[in-house]
Structures are given as C-alpha cells and as structure tokens.
Structure 1
C-alpha cells in the first residue's frame, strides 16, 4: 500500500488537532446540546402611553424567548435567562435577539428600508427565515466543476480529489499506475476520504481499481466508520453491497453504530439497525450506542434504539445505565424514554 510519507509524525500523539478531533473518543462525546445559544439582554417591559391609554409591550428579547421556548429540547435544553441591563451601552443598544447573534440582526436591519426597522415578532420571523434558508442551501449537493487534468497527479492531489469528489483527477492518477490504496500520514485512504464525503462515483472507480474495502487508518477506523461519521448513507450502502463489515471495531472498540449515534445521523443509525448490527455492543468505556445517544441528547436516535430493542439496564465502566446520565433539567427526556420503553415492552 503506497503511503504519502511527507511530514510523517514521530508518534500518534503528534496528530494535529483537526485530525485528532475526528478520531478522538472524548471529542465525539462532547455534548453541545447543553449550551445556550444566546442570552437576551432586552427582557424588561416598557410602558408606552398612546392616546391617554397605557399599554404594556414586551421588547424583542421577550418575544424571542417566548417563541424559542417551543424549540426541541435538544436545541434549547435550558430556559433562556434574563439579564437586566444596568446601563445603556455607549456604542448603541445590544441588538442580540434570543439565539440570534448581533451580526444577524444587523444584517436584517440593513436590508430593510431606511426608517422601517423591524421589531418584535417580525424581526424574529425574518431572522428565522434567513437562517432556515442558509441551512437548506447547505444541504443542496454541490456540483463539482472539473478542469481538464494536465500532467501527472501526485498522491496528495489524488487524496484531495477523492475527498472533493473530483473524478477526473482520480481517474488520471489511477490510469498512470497510481495505487488505489494510497493514504496520508494517518493512513486515511482515498476510499476513506470519498466515503466520508459521500462521493459514490469516486468510490466505485476506486473499488474497480482494487481498493481494499477493509483497510484501517491509524486508529483502526474503516471506510464504513468514515461513511457513518460523515452521515453518508449512499456511501454506506455501496460499501455494504461490496461486502464491507458493518460491525467493525476501531481501537476504542467503537462500532459504526457508535459513530453514527455520536455524530447524530439518525438515518444512518436506522440503516445499520435494519442491516442487523448488534445494538447493545459496548465500546472501551462500556458505553452502548444508547449511552451515547442519551448523554449527547440525541432524542430521535435514543427513541429509535429503544424501540429497536436496546437494553436500558446495561451499565458502563462507571456503573451507570444510559438513563442515569441525564441531568436534572432533562426530566422531560427521561419521561419520554421511559414511555418508549413501555411501548416497546407492550409491543413484545
């Protein structure tokens, strides 16, 4: 197996932060669900006199908190706290609105006609509309526009092309006699790169040229692990159809089911379960996929695992069952999971 040996580190501990985070067991287990995305500082009420009558109007921050309180628990697990302003900032009013950053508010206000500044419900609705539009745009597959390949392709460019889905560059490298199992200093092959990015056309070309579907990187992650980490269902199905092992374990004893659960890809978890993987496998710390789902507040995945037969009484190395990891503010989650367990038991 050819390897790009440039700048090979002396030991695994020298792996740069970006790659180390992709592989790290601890990094995978960091829950961001418990962070509040913004604190409103405009929660007080103002009295406005109009035509001799006094009406109370809540400010933007109050409206935002009221609307955002209906969000899913995993997105907003704690109530938004109110910080009363002790003094008006000299540079102007703080325009942060609930979970929306000041920059987003400024962008909306600058886009409106002069003197027609949005406020209250209208502002929150416009902020939400813009954020949802950006999220939809991010999900649209990007069309890879490739320029003609001139001259030989070196291993580094070959690996980069595999990660970006550039078929012409990959084909040129292979046609010139390049090794389909070429890898970087972390032993991450072109097939690993393409699987993570869901580039199935490139994957097919690599497999046609003899790429080893079972090769592992430095932490024993296979192409299946990388497909699950990237949420790449089409890539996972392709690997499965070519005989890849969906139950493979890395050095941390994490299975593809563990990886898909930690990264929050419910559709991948569903495919793995229906494909017959063992649902109660433990990793090196004794955690099952359900432990990971509950700790990281992956509610939909936790529901799916329980309804699919995940055992709730299994303890990890710390002696904790999955539901014993919940915090006090997650009482609603605990109640929901218990209901799922009851529904499963009734169905049996």
Structure 2
C-alpha cells in the first residue's frame, strides 16, 4: 500500500466511529496542495500492511460511502478545446460540455466566444444549440463585434437567419461603428447583403470614417453589391468624413486609373532604354 493510501485509511479511521477504539498515533504533516493537515498512522503498532488492508475494507463497509480515489475526475473542458470544437462544428463535444454545466459564454483572450467561432464558420446547428443553452447573443468581442457581425463575415445565410430568429439586432454597431451590412459588403457576401436588405436593415449607416455600405462597395469594387444597394435606395449623395460621396469615389478611381494609363503610355513612347534610365534616375 502506498503512503497516501495509508494516510487516507487513517483519516477514515478517525472520521468513522465504529464503536471500537483504534490505536492510532497521529502526526501533522504539511501537504503541498493545500493548507490542511492530515493524520498519519504510526506503523509502529505492529500491524503489517496485509492486516491494515483487511481492516480498511471492514471500515468502508460500516462507514458512509466516500468518493473512490480510483474514479477518474473529469476536468472542465479547456477554453481552447471548446473554441476548437466550435470552429470545427463538433456538436457532440459542445453538447457534452454544456450538459456537464459548462459556461456557454466562456471566452478567449480577445473576448471571442464559442458562438462567435461557430457563427463565422457557418455551423448553424452549433449556433442554435449554444443559444438554446444560454449563450449571450449580444456578447461583444474585443472590437465590439457580436455574433451577427461574425456571421456576416463568414457568409452563412443559415447562421444569419438563426441569429435573427433569436433576436439579433441587424443594425448593431461595433467599435468601428460598422453594422452587419458594412461587414457583409466588405467581405463580398452578396447573398447576405440581399437578405439584410430584405429584412429592412438600415442602408445608409456610416462607420467611424463616415463611409456607408455603398462607399465600401465602391472602394472594393463589389459591383453586384453596388447595384443591390442602389436598387434598395442607398443615398448616393452622402459624404464621408473626407467629404467624398460614393459616386465621387468612382470618378476619383477612374481618374487615378486614367492617370496611371497615361503615365504608362508616355513611358512606352519614350522607349525601353530611356524608360530604364528614367527609373534609375
């Protein structure tokens, strides 16, 4: 028998009063894992290990049940493991975690929750399960993005619909004042933009730089989204903080392209040798 087993038997002997006095000599011993002291049996009483084991079995029969040290203790799932399961869509792992009383709103160092991860990866079933088990739909990450922002970034229409059905605000802003429509436009998810517009999401909201979704669509050359926004009534006259409208951005972009083409044409007329010399100068 190991020394720790002998110590545990000693505690059992002291705690469980069987009616028969046991000759036990105790001594205090500091333990590394706690500030408590336990009693150690003095083996000098002349009993060998075999006798001690027999007496321990008899005591266990007469005492109230104790948790066996041989039963494996299931530790709470590590946050990183939970995030990985959410990212990979492992619903069985998520279910086990939640059924064991795990916190659905546990987050990483950037305040990203399992709901954020599942949303951006498009795992609708995981998202629904997390919401049913108490996940906060409005939990903000370090940049103020909520699950709906992440869903629009990921481009899963199923997840966006699931979040909306549970009350997600389609016009909520992050710390950059970006709405879900801004995010879907920048990431080029035309289907999400179309769905948000069909749900009457505000179309002319401006972010921290004063840009509307239309500004973003023009800047990033999202032609299909530009058409969707204009057809839905986007205001083409709104100016950003630089005093530029989305239409003026187009003209500015066209002007820059024209200037670049003219410069290239001029270099071509000069000739390869002169062009090389000009670059070296």
Q: Tell whether the structures are fold-level matches, with TM greater than 0.5.
A: yes
CA distance in 1, matches of 2:158, 2:191: 11
Q: Which residue of 1 aligns with 2:185?
A: 261
Are 1:305 and 2:221 matched, yes or no? no
Match of 2:254 among 306, 310, 328: 328
- Deviation, structure 1 residue 269: 0.3
Are 1:281 and 2:237 matched, yes or no? no
CA distance in 2, matches of 1:330, 1:166: 49
Q: Which residue of 1 aligns with 2:110?
A: 186
Q: What is the TM-score with the length of structure 2 in the denominator?
A: 0.63
Query: Residues 154 and 173 of structure 1 are in contact (CA less than 8 Å); yes or no, is this contact kept in structure 2?
Result: no
Moved over 4 A (4+): none
Match of 1:216 among 136, 140, 143: 140
- Structure 1 unmatched runs, 5+: 1-150, 332-348
Match of 1:174 among 98, 101, 108: 98
Match of 2:169 among 229, 245, 257: 245
CA distance in 2, matches of 1:221, 1:201: 21
- Deviation, structure 1 residue 330: 8.9
CA distance in 2, matches of 1:293, 1:168: 39
The structure that has the greater radius of gyration is 2
CA distance in 1, matches of 2:185, 2:239: 18
What is the correspondence of 1:51-90 to structure 2 with a 5 Å cutoff?
none
Q: Which residue of 2 aligns with 1:207?
A: 131
- Deviation, structure 1 residue 328: 2.1
- Deviation, structure 1 residue 208: 1.6
Q: What is the TM-score with the length of structure 1 in the denominator?
A: 0.51
CA distance in 2, matches of 1:163, 1:199: 8
SS at match of 1:279: coil
- Deviation, structure 1 residue 324: 1.4
Higher relative CO (CA 8 A, sep ≥ 6), structure 1 or 2?
1
Query: Residues 200 and 238 of structure 1 are in contact (CA less than 8 Å); yes or no, is this contact kept in structure 2?
Result: yes
- Structure 2 unmatched runs, 5+: 1-73, 258-281
- Deviation, structure 1 residue 201: 0.8
Query: Residues 257 and 269 of structure 1 are in contact (CA less than 8 Å); yes or no, is this contact kept in structure 2?
Result: yes
Give aligned pairs, total.
183
Query: Residues 260 and 268 of structure 1 are in contact (CA less than 8 Å); yes or no, is this contact kept in structure 2?
Result: yes
Q: Which residue of 2 aligns with 1:161?
A: 85
Query: Residues 221 and 250 of structure 1 are in contact (CA less than 8 Å); yes or no, is this contact kept in structure 2?
Result: yes
